[in-house]
Structure 1
Amino acid sequence: MKVLLVTSSLSRSGGGVATAVQALSRSLLATNADVNVVGLRDSGWERDTEEWQGIPASPLRVLGPSAIGYAPEARGCLERSGADIAHSHGIWKYPSRAVAKWGASTGRPYVVSPHGMLDAWALKHSAWKKKIAARLYENTHLRRAGCFHALCEAEAQAIRELGFRNPICVIPNGIALPSFEERKPAPWRSIVPEDHRVMLFLGRLHPKKNIAALIEAWPSDAANTNWHLAIAGWDEGGYAEVLRKLVKARHLEDRIHFLGPMFGSEKDAAFRSADAFVLSSLSEGLPIAVLEAWSYGLPVLQTEACNLPEGFREKAAFRLSLEPDRIAREIRVFMGMTPEAQQEMGRNGRRLAERSFCWGSVAGQLLQVYAWLLDGGTPPACVRI
């Protein structure tokens, strides 16, 4: 089976989508599937090229505004691939049009993974641009999909509420489980006393992550509990400066620390050294960062918008609200838990990650969906008709 994965970004500039496509590609290749990846070349490609080592990836040159992502080479690249099936990751940019055209010209099926981009909050963000894209090409791309890929039941419901009646497979993102090794030096070792505790945020610095509310909620007397907030992530559109000003206005520079983007061994050290992980998002598809935190055995503080209700059911996550005043009370409750109770929450998360979120299982389920779209027969168990 020749599988073509198509995405609007091949770098960290695209958030967690590029990371998910990389991991899925490696897992599919491990099954001996013939896999190729096509994506837009953006400002982060040169920096992240090594992340794609061993994966056949084609970065496409973009002409004009990056928000549109017009890549004139896209359609020819797709047609030359000889793929049996295509899988779109992310929407709203020119690759959507190219995939729809490829499907129409070849008669071959394709899958669409919106990665949370059809959730209500996401649709309201830059709504006018999305309405234009929908009218020009995105509605066609979505309507013609052989199957949607939703990361969770909530995303599947959001797709249905928009009126789409295509089949939907519900398959979560996955993670590669780290081994338990000796703790590496913490990235914050020069600014946080060794006997103090750290709650880690790791991801894009973007309004939908609701980091501003988290900063406003951070207890001003956190010195009494020895907790620090470490914010690790890459800036998007200058938002980091907005957040820094909030920290300065609250006089919390000695308790809230900006560490910049972290990848590879540095990210691994951050997860191994943290005492908890937090994601206060307003909207998510299914956040890989939470799955990674569980894989490292960390207790997680998350909102319901993270779409991981199993975390609450399995007592692997502490529930956060969206508003600063409520978040402040909830963080105090978490900080007041005994270290033993927090560690048990982390162990529950590790067990949950091992059981439900490994990339090998994700790739296997998607291969079943691809085969069903190509050959027909009984839909796989993950498919909602």
Structure 2
Amino acid sequence: MKILTIAPYLGSTYGGISKIVTELVQTIGNFGITVDLVVTHANGFNNLDVPLHVWIPEKNYRVQYFSCWYHNDLIISSSLSNWLFHHVTDYNLVHTHTIFAPLISLTHWLCQFHQIPYIVTPHGMLEPWALSYKAWKKHLYYTLIEKQALQRASAIQGTASSEVDHIMSLGFKHTINIPNGLNLKEFEVLTEPRIFYQNFPNTKNKVLILFLGRIDPKKGLDLLAPAFAKVHSQFPQSHLVIAGPDSIGFLSTAKSYFARAGCFDAVTFTGMLSGKLKYAALAAASLYVAPSYSEGFSMSVLEGMASGLPCVITNGCNFPEAAGAQVAHVVNIDANAIASALSHCLGNSQEAKEMGDRARKFIFQNYTWEQAVQKLLEVYQTILKNKEINKIRQAIINKKSFE
């Protein structure tokens, strides 16, 4: 089995998708499958500093970066397009990540032309809020290009049960639920918070609430601002940390939300955090919050829970299983609901700690990349054997996946 994985970007400024794709192909390679990854060097306002147009060997897979032109999320690459024309037939199956992207649409067309099976992972881009954002552009693209490509896919991978329901409501019955996972080695030993305080000394001796994600309209910072203002008036030692990249120039708008809410002095914008500094931020925090309007299946939510943090997330985060297992506060997409849950956690510290402990255990038991890839490889094999995808869906359900 030889698999081609393609995504428009791997730059960290684009958020969780970059981490999902790299960890996914790494784990597929760990199972002895030949997997190649092709991608552009796009990275927000800059380019990735990587060799171009050559294979770079990684552990158990290889990756090739291509030059491109891009504006925000629109990415065009003639070199990658040319490579696909000449090499897509080298593979038994193609796995694409994201939709509403010209490079991905070209890949789907080439797969159809050469009768190569392909599986699509939309990463939340078919969620109701996502479809309503810049709706007229997406409606046109969806009608002319995306709908047919999704219909002809061998399978569509949703990463959350509610996301699968939304995709199937659009008429795509060949949809499966395979959640994202974590590399648990990164969370077995929790990092000391010292280096975070060294870099952001104004946060020391505060009760930190951590938002970890892109500075983007869908992340709900307009809701978090009035919610945190209420929380801070009740708990003056609370301090909000906004940790994430600004890939579309939204930072000034995000800051204005907190200025208008009157709590800007109690907020620290750290920019992108990675490596030890990100884990130190997780260790320094007392609470994690994700006020999102829409997600596929958030990697940062998994990271917060795996770090043992009590988490307040909206139902837009597509994680109803967390509510069912009582390992997070899952609230409506509403500033008052977010504020109430945060205040409850701060006012009931022992209860919150116990919830965080349950969350950590829950993630370790159920959301690993090994578990995800085992299910994904069953899908690959089913597709290549020309079996019905509904059979593999039922097999995954019978194994008590979180579909």
TM-score, normalised on structure 1? Answer: 0.91
2:356 to 333, 346, 355: 346
Alignment of 1:40 with 2:75, yes or no, is no
1:112 to 115, 120, 123: 120
Alignment of 1:268 with 2:276, yes or no, is no
Q: Which amino acid aligns with 1:173?
A: N
How far does the alpha carbon of each residue in 1:305-349 deviate from its partner, in whole angstroms, 9 at most, with x for none? 111111112221013332223333332222211x22111111111
How far does the alpha carbon of each residue in 1:81-130 deviate from its partner, in whole angstroms, 9 at most, with x for none? 51110011100011222222221232121000111100111001111221
Q: Which amino acid aligns with 2:312?
A: L
More displaced stretch, 294-303 vs 99-108? 99-108
Percentage of pairs with the same residue: 27
- 2:158 maps to which residue? 150
Alignment of 1:244 with 2:244, yes or no, is no
2:64 to 58, 75, 79: 58
More displaced stretch, 156-165 vs 282-291? 156-165
- 2:367 maps to which residue? 357
- 1:27 maps to which residue? 27
Map residues 322-341 of structure 1 onto 2, 5 A cutoff: 322-337=333-348, 339-341=349-351
Find the aligned partners of 2:129 and 2:171 in 1 and give their Cα distance. 17
Alignment of 1:171 with 2:185, yes or no, is no
More helix by share: 2
RMSD: 2.4
Find the aligned partners of 1:197 and 1:66 in 2 and give their Cα distance. 35
Map residues 184-333 of structure 1 onto 2, 5 A cutoff: 184-188=193-197, 189-194=200-205, 196-220=206-230, 222=232, 225=235, 226-333=237-344
Unaligned segments of structure 2, at least 5 residues: 399-403
How far does the alpha carbon of each residue in 1:138-166 deviate from its partner, in whole angstroms, 9 at most, with x for none? 2232111000101122111111211223x
SS at match of 2:300: helix
- 1:128 maps to which residue? 136
- 2:378 maps to which residue? 368
Distance 1:383 1:68, change over 3 A: farther
Q: CA deviation at 1:262?
A: 0.5
Alignment of 1:83 with 2:91, yes or no, is yes
Distance 1:47 1:41, change over 3 A: closer
Distance 1:217 1:64, change over 3 A: closer
Q: CA deviation at 1:224?
A: 5.5
Find the aligned partners of 2:298 and 2:57 in 1 and give their Cα distance. 21
Q: CA deviation at 1:64?
A: 6.6
Q: How many residues align?
A: 381
8 Å contact 1:216–1:324 — kept in the other structure?
A: yes
Distance 1:320 1:174, change over 3 A: same
SS at match of 2:329: strand
Distance 1:140 1:221, change over 3 A: closer
Q: Which amino acid aligns with 1:340?
A: Q
Q: Which amino acid aligns with 2:254?
A: L
Find the aligned partners of 2:276 and 2:265 in 1 and give their Cα distance. 25
How far does the alpha carbon of each residue in 1:38-77 deviate from its partner, in whole angstroms, 9 at most, with x for none? 1233145744759995452222333475644232333442
SS at match of 2:308: coil
TM-score, normalised on structure 2? Answer: 0.88
More displaced stretch, 55-64 vs 4-13? 55-64
- 2:396 maps to which residue? 382
SS at match of 1:39: strand
Find the aligned partners of 1:221 and 1:56 in 2 and give their Cα distance. 47
Distance 1:127 1:143, change over 3 A: same
SS at match of 2:338: helix
SS at match of 1:187: helix
SS at match of 1:130: helix
8 Å contact 1:198–1:274 — kept in the other structure?
A: yes
